[in-house]
Structure 1
């Protein structure tokens, strides 16, 4: 067994930053899309990140069945409180998923070619880095989206 607490700590920091931005905006503005082509709401981006982490850690690494509708993640809407509960449940699942995992074990599943991700076979540490990469990118996207929405609201 390998201690995954440090890894989960950094994932939690990313999610706490996303959820903090969503809570700062409030549910109405958190579900609004900025006036840019193809832009997503802060809620939808954070909701997508739950799907990313659950799928890549739960399904790819641990082999757990994950019912994911990736396209629907980008149109999701809801409250910050609901999403925080979903994130807490996600962390419980990920802790269980990662507990028996060793860095030398191969992932239990291979992502479909249609899913965005690294274009090479991945090790368990590689999948974990991919999840951290995605969360870090989307955390920054959420911060920029929050700034755009609050600027628009003040105008």
Structure 2
């Protein structure tokens, strides 16, 4: 009879992706007048791809992409650089101000696996390998009798000689 007390919880990539997707469409700070750029996230093989609409934003100077543990944080500001009008009315439907979007990646990633590009008003961020399965690695166990043995092996030189 074999008993096991394994604490292995299998990864559910669909649940992780759903969490990432839900996070992409949830404003970081739910304020009616805050600027919160539209975003979408999808899986591309083992990579996560996040697209954020930032037309009219100077991404080189006003946008920051950082990885903090399991979170990808995109923050920045859309500046209103127009001169104020002194006469008449002004219709303003474009929102300005600071923004911060946080995307939970499900696991910690190295910043070297993240790339970002900006084209036609859309910031595209690719997190390479975030959905890749982590392979297990066998750990050697040291015993006082035989030195180093692979986990699960039961080799003892003294026992082998006695059996011969």
Normalised TM-score (structure 1): 0.26
In terms of fraction of residues, the more strand-rich structure is 2
Higher relative contact order (CA 8 A, sep 6+): 1
In terms of fraction of residues, the more helix-rich structure is 1
Larger Rg: 2
